[in-house]
Amino acid sequence: MKSVSPTVDHPTLRLLKKCNTLNALKQVHAQMISTGLIHHTYPISRILLLSSTLATLSYTLTIFNQVPSPSIFLYNTLISSLTQKDNAQVALSLYDQVLAHPSLKPNSYTYPSLFKAFGTHQWFKHGQALHGHVLKFLYTPCDNFVQASLLNFYSRCGKVSIARYFFDQINEPDLATWNSILSAYVRNSGNLDGNTSSSLEVLNLFSHMQKSLIEPSEVTLVALITACADLGALSQGIWAHVYIIKYNLSLNHFIGTALITLYANCGSLQFAWQLFYQLPCRDTFCFNAMIRGLAIHGNGHEALGLFEVMKQEGILPDDVTILAIMCACSHVGLVDEGREYFESMKSNYGLEPKTEHYCCLVDLLGRAGLVKEAEERVSTMPMEPHAILWRSLLGAARVHGSLEIGEVALRALVALEPETSGNYVLLSNMYACMNRWDDVKRVRKLMKDHGIDKMPGSSIVEVDGSMHEFLIGDKSHPRVKDIYLKLEEMNVKLQEYGHRPRTKEVFFDIEEEEKEDALSYHSERLAIAFALIATDAHGPVRIIKNLRVCVDCHSSTKLLSVVYEREIIVRDRTRFHHFKNGTCSCLDYW
């Protein structure tokens, strides 16, 4: 291969830059052959790049295969181009050629494009093997470029802790690197076990990013707003919204959807509506976010109305839309409508129901007391039921006292998730409600034998832009004395208003007075107590809870909204509860 320097400004290469059709490419290719440019590395790299855009894969490979001794630079050029065109398999075969070549060795430019191609669970094992090759062939410490590609790969494969390791190795990460780690944590927040911690880490990382004077991009802000939505961090979410307005950033459907979700998740449906109508162009994602927001707040009829508007505007629903609509029906008991939407997925919209749709259908039927029909749906669905679906059936069985179906669901759950405490607790509570204390004891022993502890209740409240998290019986807060004094006051006032704690589902082997204390120290009670002493006396109290609100906390919070004349908004595992003037927006259907 000849030297590259005499060919960089050749007139034929200037023609190559102007090519925009396959015909023009072929003409310039012919000129490169006749002038001898085809024997130089740089011109070949240029025509390979253009060919991968304008020509067929076979044409591009023919050009490459005619090079007598391609350099690692040419291999890297073609591998990069192929991975950008989703030809990962061909790119991998070229990499195999490099490994088999006696005088070639991959370098730091070989790997980043391959890692980009392997950034899915389907290719995870290939990526892991490639990581081993990095350690084998790159004898010097990896540069930031390779480190960032490893971070990106593990991030997109959901391996957040490994991605964080590589992030911490990078000196002065650039914007793309910051976005990659932020997005990794946001994706992990979809995992229930990593929800709160992942979203809090996004806020922590963003704070460090600001100190490094890196200006956020659209991707950064979407990640930040999504984390704020997950945590219910309204103040920080509003800061991001103000930043977008201040710097005249585009309110496109990505940022718009994230902001709608933020306001809906923080209990501010009015702001979500305003944002929705401000968007210059509303697509399926925007409608889905707004419909879902209405659904989780129990505004089922409004959600169905917006779905009709969506169809009138000619916007096609997707499977997420139908899921949100079914969720809306479930929360307000619109059983016939929910069934109808489920059945019409395929006939009206050509959509195949997924496991999530069956789960929502089971939830819809179970809430309405149609537990037997819900079980029949589970047993006849075309795919294997997953744990969430069985848990939904178990929850319905508990609420409506269908012990036999509850036991069937628990057996399936234990097989799928033997270490998840909530499954056992649901059945234990069902036995407790039926005064079957021997069975309660058996389930608790089963948990103990398997080394399973009950997942602690956790509640987060935002005060002056800071997130305060409480666990059951928590005494770690700096204002713990004030909080417990307020808690005592709350309990006295609840008794004055005639509240009688529902202690049946609390552990049976402690005294009744201790059971009442256990209920008093639930995480949301502590969060409410702190909010009452630390916030404005007239604004709403906003609580984010990781578990479903228990019956006793639900009834006591209704009374607390009267006692302290405050609206208390609680977002639990599945929906919102707006407590105001002694009533709840769910109308006790949750």
Q: What is the pLDDT of residues 525-538, one digit of tens each?
A: 999 999 999 988 78
Residue 353 has pLDDT above 60, yes or no: yes
| Cα separation values, 343 from 305, 347, 385, Å | 19, 8, 18
Amino acid at 234: L
- Give pLDDT, residue 425: 79
Q: For residues 390 and 376, what is the distance between their CA atoms, to the nearest angstrom?
A: 12
The 3-state DSSP class for residue 458 equals strand
Q: For residues 393 and 434, what is the distance between their CA atoms, to the nearest angstrom?
A: 18
What tokens were used for 297? Answer: 């707040």
Average pLDDT over residues 15-30: 90
Q: For residues 339 and 17, what is the distance between their CA atoms, to the nearest angstrom?
A: 58
Please write the tens of the pLDDT for every residue from 570-585: 998 888 899 999 999 8
- Give pLDDT, residue 396: 84
Q: For residues 332 and 169, what is the distance between their CA atoms, to the nearest angstrom?
A: 50
- The percentage of the chain sitting over the pLDDT mark of 70, rounded to a whole number, equals 93
CATH architecture of 354-455: Alpha Horseshoe (1.25)
Q: For residues 155 and 470, what is the distance between their CA atoms, to the nearest angstrom?
A: 30
Average pLDDT over residues 58-64: 91
- Give pLDDT, residue 511: 39
Contact 157, 181 (CB under 8 A): no
Residue from 298, 232, 284 nearest 254 by CA: 284
Q: For residues 363 and 395, what is the distance between their CA atoms, to the nearest angstrom?
A: 9
pLDDT band at 293 (very low <50, low <70, confident <90, very high): very high
Q: For residues 229 and 90, what is the distance between their CA atoms, to the nearest angstrom?
A: 41
- Give pLDDT, residue 446: 80
Residue 339 has pLDDT above 90, yes or no: yes
Please write the tens of the pLDDT for every residue from 484-500: 999 999 999 999 988 87
Q: Which of 234-238, 278-282, 430-434 has the lowest mean pLDDT?
A: 430-434
Contact 83, 92 (CB under 8 A): no
Sign, CA dihedral 80-83-85-87, equals positive
- Give pLDDT, residue 508: 42
Average pLDDT over residues 501-524: 55
- Give pLDDT, residue 416: 85
Please write the tens of the pLDDT for every residue from 304-328: 999 999 999 999 999 999 999 999 9
| Maximum pairwise Cα distance, the chain | 98
Contact 38, 32 (CB under 8 A): yes
Amino acid at 577: H
Please write the tens of the pLDDT for every residue from 358-403: 999 999 998 888 999 999 999 899 988 888 888 888 888 877 878 8
| Cα separation values, 194 from 185, 190, 253, Å | 9, 8, 27
Please write the tens of the pLDDT for every residue from 431-485: 887 788 888 888 888 888 777 776 777 899 988 878 899 988 888 999 999 999 9
**DSSP one-letter code for 40:** B
Contact 423, 410 (CB under 8 A): yes
Name all contacts of 93-99 with Cβ < 8 Å and 24+ positions apart: 98/72
Rounded to the nearest integer, the mean pLDDT of the chain is 87
- Give pLDDT, residue 513: 39
Residue 157 has pLDDT above 80, yes or no: yes
DSSP 44-66: HHHHHHHHHHHS-HHHHHHHHHT
Average pLDDT over residues 14-26: 89
The answer to pTM > 0.75 is: yes
Question: In sequence order, what are the residues at sequence separation of 6 or more whose Cβ sits closer than 8 angstroms to the Cβ of residue 286?
Answer: 253, 256, 257, 260, 276, 279
